[in-house]
Amino acid sequence: MLAECGKTKVLCTASVQDQVPHWMHSRHQGGWLTAEYSMLPNAGTPRKPRDGRTGRPLDGRSFEIQRLVGRALRCAIDLTVMPEVTLWVDCDVLQADGGTRTTSINGAIVALYDALLWMEEQKQLPRWPLRGLVSAVSVGVVGGTPMIDLDYHEDSSAEVDLSIVFASDDRLIEIQGAAEKQPFAMEQLQTMVAMAQKSCAEIRDLQKQALGI
């Protein structure tokens, strides 16, 4: 699944591994889902060293993003009704122009849905485990104005930079971000969350279109 948002492009895939992590063995309670995120060296400018080439397997930012993607997706799925499998969701950024984490989430849930359909076809699912879709968008304040889906240029000059994830029933999954220059008012936060909510509903429609549901 190639997820695109403006110039940002992320290849999202989901695969099924017939085993759960070691730490889950004693729990006997279904499956697990984990996500990986990586940016190709020339997805942005300047070139970023390829993961694994600098001695550290993954930079802190990628690690933080893949944990966000994993948390968002685990909120959408009931892992206790899954068989003992690990769902691997890979998000590989081909081109980055801001909002790679939110685009990753938007594509990852579509890839996950597709993988679950495959499992259902293979009669591997006792029950449909997905509670709904998840959608995400970046929102910030640039030059005093609240804005949706910041590109790199807007992101780098933003006074506030948030990534917001919504469930398909319009409940919040995660708000990530901070004031970059000075504190901001609660009213501004409320405006930004409302803008993100509207935008996520539009993204959800596009996700449904892509899935044909």
Is residue 154 part of the contact set for ligand UDP (CB under 6 A)?
A: no
User: What is the maximum alpha-carbon separation in the chain?
Assistant: 54
**Binding-site member from 152, 188, 206, 208 for ligand UDP (CB under 6 A):** 152
The separation between CA 91 and the C-alpha centre of its own chain, rounded to angstroms, equals 8
What is the C-alpha separation between 134 and 168, in angstroms, rounded? Answer: 6
- Asked if 107 and 12 touch (Cβ cutoff 8 Å), the reply is yes
Considering only residues 56-95, where is the footprint of ligand UDP by CB under 6 A?
Answer: 61
Residues 6+ apart with CB under 8 A from 189: none
Closest separation in Å from C-beta 144 to ligand UDP: 20
Closest separation in Å from C-beta 75 to ligand UDP: 18
**Which among 30-38, 98-106, 189-197, 198-206 is the span making contact with ligand UDP, rule CB under 6 A?**
98-106
Residue 122 φ/ψ, nearest 5 degrees: -80, 5
Closest separation in Å from C-beta 213 to ligand UDP: 27
Number of residues that bind ligand UDP (CB under 6 A): 12
The strands making up 172-179's β-sheet, listed across from edge to edge, are: 145-148, 134-142, 160-167, 172-179
Q: Which is nearer to ligand UDP, 10 or 33 (CB)?
A: 10
Q: Which amino acid is at 29?
A: Q
Is residue 129 part of the contact set for ligand UDP (CB under 6 A)?
A: no
Please tell me the number of Cα atoms within 13 Å of 206 on its side-chain side.
15
Is residue 198 part of the contact set for ligand UDP (CB under 6 A)?
A: no
Task: Provide the binding-site residues for ligand UDP, judged by CB under 6 A.
Answer: 44, 48, 61, 96-101, 138, 152, 155
